Amino acid sequence: MDDAFTSLNKDEFVEQIAVDKINDQEEDVYMVGLSYSSPKDATYQYCDTSKNLGNGDAFLTKYSYNPADGNIKHKWNGKIKYSGSAGIDKPTKNVDRYDWAYCIAVDHQNTNTYVYVAGASLSSEQAMQCETCNGSSAFQPLPSDNFEGFIAKYDATDGSLLAYTYFGGPKGKDEVLDIAIKPGRDHDVYVAGYTESENLGFRALNTYDKKIGANGDGFIAGFDNCLTQLKYFTYYSIDSSKSADGQDRCHCLRFSNNGNELYVSGTSDQGTAGIATKNVYQRNPGGGSDAFVGKWKLKGAAYKPVWGTYIGGDSLDRGRKLAITDPKITGETYVYVTGWTLSDNLKLVPGSSVIQDKSAGGNDAFLVKLDGSTGMGIWATYFGGSEGDFPNGLNWFYSKKTGTQWVAMAGITSSPNTTGFIKGYHGKDKLKDNLSGLRDAFFATFNDQGNKVNLDYATYLGGSEDENFSLPDCGFNCNCLYNNAFSGYGSSVATLNDGGGTVYVSFSTNSPDVDDSLHGHAGGTIYNTGIPFICPDCPNCTHDNYDAFMVRMDMCSGKTCNDSRISTDQNSNITLHLTPNPFTDNISVDIFSDQNDIANVTVYDELMKVAFLKNISLVPGDNRLSLDFSSFPPGVYIASVKVSSQINQIKLVKQ
């Protein structure tokens, strides 16, 4: 990995982020993806060997954010870590060399912090032969062909590379699409992905299914933390006795707190057999391609399947990320899975209450909640507008104070009405409620209430141009690198599960004004580049460069969610926010209403004397009132907001 080049003058595509809370004054954020800014044929040192970078390399970078003063710093002296090999000048549909980091995981061992990165390498010449962190050779120092998966380990302090292994065979594509650290003293590194290689796990110490599917297969693999030994491997199937006639890919894996259970989600094409079990959400494939989820349990030294389910209707359905709850908070484990669907008959759960019970057109996002013990469905909802909605980020988080649970989703949308049913805002100012450019990123939070799910918040994220991997004038007909079927559509979400409510969202943007469009309240950072790029397969498709972008949002104030935000009862048609809280001079009252109404706003001081009184005429949608408290002394105030027959009281603190 190189740390000498800091000029980012071409395309940078962010694939995933990870956030690591050090203390109340430091949150470390890591970003991985694909960069075209590395100078072609530039050399860097790996052990005692010089390597050449190519035009399209995996990158890793680190930022540190201080919530106390709002400062964000680019760590490692502001330098980027590259991995790759010399390649062609521009991507074509026959790309033969590039390196793409798809996923990232952060691990703590005693007082040390390590970062693991994984993805795909199209570099048949790149040899990574040297000792690893335990003095042994890497599991696979040489690529078997020109399309291999890879895993790398770094020291989080200075970004130094500690271990690197390829993972693949000689007969086709091999990609690592997700990575997770198994809880426990060994800190084993588990990956999931897609392979076309037979006998990929022949050196594994423990296996479950050693037979690859006919047209490519998903896989789960576990390595020691120095990437020298393959401790576990299986091709993905719940019932290994059935022939896998389709193609399936594993896109996400998550461990339970103790590491005894492993949950995997992905996509199954052409009705792959052996994916589902009895008495689950959906036993049979719906047709076309389907999403899937499976639970695996550690038995001895190997994981074996417990249950599996399809998710999908009669058209094309793609599974991407999953999230699981902490049973210490929720009592038992629940599983959330997202992806996108063209089906208009997604299976709903009788007796549940959801946001959207039918497709709005095009590809819609879906979100499904499952019982982690049985795989039975609890609720399933569409989420989308009239065009395309593609989620790739999903996390569960909660409030220590109120017990409220949320599911956070991020993705890419071309629908002008995806967030048409916005219900309020958590942060300092409203972000963006309209689509601009061809596509925007989107972010949404969902409030889970047992067998009922509510949309808690939704916003577009983006500027006047395009936020996506694919080129704006080509759509999905452009057979370029950016339309890699296995990539994640470039939007990721990471949450700090400390009971507070801090959320980071990343996406790729071609918009020079993306920061302005978020009103400067994002706390994000943008790579400034500007060299035009032309796709050789699409001669009429020209645009400026793509950049990685990261935004931080405080869904709550302070360490725990306080009472600055009130959602009314289940029968209410309004949502209320008073922000910021605590405040200095001014505070905003934001009210979302489904109808024309009147809001009576009264603010009392500590002696319950009226300090402020005003009526607001509400219109359908968002309504805002700014209150000037500059002439009032610091202290505690009570805001009472009455709409129709409902009265909500909120404690305010002026500093």
DSSP 138-164: PS--S-SSSSEEEEEEEETTT--EEEE
| Final residue before a domain boundary, out of 193, 214, 235 | 235
Range of the domain at 134: 1-235
How far is Cα of residue 209 from the mean position of the Cα atoms in its chain?
Answer: 29
pLDDT at 135: 79
- Burial of residue 376, with CB atoms counted within 10 A of its CB: 0-12 exposed, 13-18 middle, 19 or more buried: middle
Sign of CA dihedral 381, 387, 388, 391: negative
3-state class of 514 per DSSP?
Answer: helix
Beta-carbon count within 10 A of 609 CB:
7
CA distances from 296 to 23, 212, 261 (A): 34, 18, 6
Within-domain flag for 520: no
Dihedral angle over CA of 340, 341, 344, 346, nearest 10: -70
Nearest of 167, 108, 122 to residue 140 by alpha carbon: 167
In a domain, 514, yes or no: no
Residue with tokens 């949450």: 495
Q: Which of 7, 36, 128 is nearest to 535 (CA)?
A: 36
Report pLDDT for 517. 65
Question: Is residue 208 within 8 Å of 201, Cβ to Cβ?
Answer: no
Place of tokens 């795909």: 120
| 39 located within any domain | yes
Residue at token pair 């908070």: 329
Three-state SS at 477 = helix
Q: How far is CA 267 from CA 77, 82, 217, 310, 654, in A?
A: 40, 30, 10, 9, 51
What residues contact residue 328 under an 8 Å CB cut-off, 6+ apart? 257
Position 38 scores a pLDDT of 62
Those residues whose C-beta lies under 8 Å from the C-beta of residue 329, and which sit 6 or more positions away, are 398, 405
Domain boundary among 235, 264, 279: 235
pLDDT at 72 (0 to 100): 82
The answer as to whether 187 is a domain residue is yes
Residue among 348, 567, 558 nearest 456 (CA):
567
What does the block give as tokens for 141? 């120092």
CA 624 – CA 627 distance, rounded (Å): 10
In order, the DSSP letters of 519-538 are TT-S--EE------EE-TT-
Q: Is 364 within a domain?
A: no
- Distance CA(128)–CA(162), nearest Å, equals 11
Domain boundary among 207, 235, 263: 235
**Buried residues in 322-359 as b, exposed as e (16+ CB within 10 A):** bbbbbeeebeebbbbbbbbbbbeebbbbeebebbbeeb
Residues in the chain where the model's pLDDT stays below 50: 1-7, 48, 87-96, 420-430, 470-489, 520-543, 557-572
What DSSP character marks residue 347? P
Amino acid 213 reads: G
Residue-wise burial string across 161-177, b where 16 or more C-beta atoms lie within 10 A, e elsewhere: bbbbbbbbbebbbbbbb
Query: Do residues 138 and 127 make contact, with C-beta atoms less than 8 angstroms apart?
Result: no
Is the residue at 142 inside a domain?
A: yes
How many structural domains are present in the chain?
2
Name the strand (E) or helix (H) holding 75.
helix 75-78
Q: Is residue 207 part of a domain?
A: yes
Residue 346's Cα: distance from chain center in Å? 23
pLDDT of residue 129: 57
Strand partners, 591: 576, 623
Instruction: Please report whether residue 530 resides in a domain.
Output: no
Contact 28, 20 (CB under 8 A): yes
Nearest to 542 by CA among 41, 124, 90, 25: 90
CATH label of the domain that carries residue 650? 2.60.40.2550
The whole-chain average pLDDT of the chain stands at 78
